[in-house]
C-alpha cells in the first residue's frame, strides 16, 4: 500500500490525471434530471466504446460538467460523425473529451442511419 501511494504521489506530481481511481476520473454517462434528456438516453443506448476521461483541469479543480454532442450513426450503430453542440462549464474541455470518446462508440443498431443529440456527464463518484 505504501509503495502504491508513493508511486501515485510521484505520478500525481508529473501528471495529475495519471494516478486516479478510474471510477473517480472517468465520466458517468447516465440519465439527466431533464425528462427529454432522460428519454433520449434510453432511446439511444451505447453498447460499446470507451468511457470519456475527465479533463485534467476539471480533475485538478474538482469541477463537474457536461457536453451535448450531435451524433450520426449508420444502421449498425457505429458512429460515423459527431460534433459538440454545447458544453458547460466552458473552458474545461468537456466537449473535446466527450467527442474523443463518442467518436469511437457504437449504439444499438437501428433500421437506418440516425442523427441525434446525446449528453455526456462528467461527475466525480
Give per-residue pLDDT as tens, 41-87.
667 889 999 999 999 999 999 999 999 999 999 999 999 999 999 99
Which DSSP string corresponds to 75-87? Answer: TTSBEEEEEEEEE
Short-list 53, 23, 51, 41, CA closest to 124: 23
Query: Domain holding 37: CATH number?
Result: 3.30.2420.10
Task: With respect to residue 40, please indicate whether it lies within any of the assigned structural domains.
Answer: yes
Task: With respect to residue 11, please indicate whether it lies within any of the assigned structural domains.
Answer: no
Give per-residue pLDDT as tens, 92-116.
999 999 999 999 999 999 989 999 9
Task: With respect to residue 36, please indicate whether it lies within any of the assigned structural domains.
Answer: yes
Would you state the torsion angle of the CA atoms of residues 19, 20, 26, 28, taken in this order, to the nearest 10 degrees? 180
Amino acid at each position: 500500500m505504501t509503495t502504491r501511494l508513493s508511486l501515485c504521489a510521484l505520478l500525481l506530481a508529473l501528471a495529475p490525471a495519471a494516478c486516479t481511481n478510474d471510477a473517480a476520473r472517468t465520466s458517468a454517462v447516465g440519465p439527466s434530471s431533464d425528462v427529454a434528456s432522460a428519454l433520449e438516453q434510453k432511446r439511444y443506448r451505447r453498447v460499446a466504446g470507451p468511457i470519456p476521461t475527465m479533463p485534467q483541469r476539471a480533475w485538478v479543480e474538482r469541477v463537474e460538467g457536461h457536453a451535448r454532442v450531435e451524433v450520426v450513426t449508420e444502421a449498425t450503430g457505429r458512429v460515423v460523425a459527431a460534433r459538440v453542440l454545447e458544453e458547460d462549464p466552458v473552458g474545461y474541455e468537456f466537449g473535446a473529451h466527450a467527442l474523443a470518446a463518442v467518436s469511437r462508440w457504437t449504439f444499438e443498431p437501428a433500421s437506418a442511419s440516425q442523427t441525434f443529440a446525446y449528453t455526456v456527464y462528467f461527475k466525480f463518484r
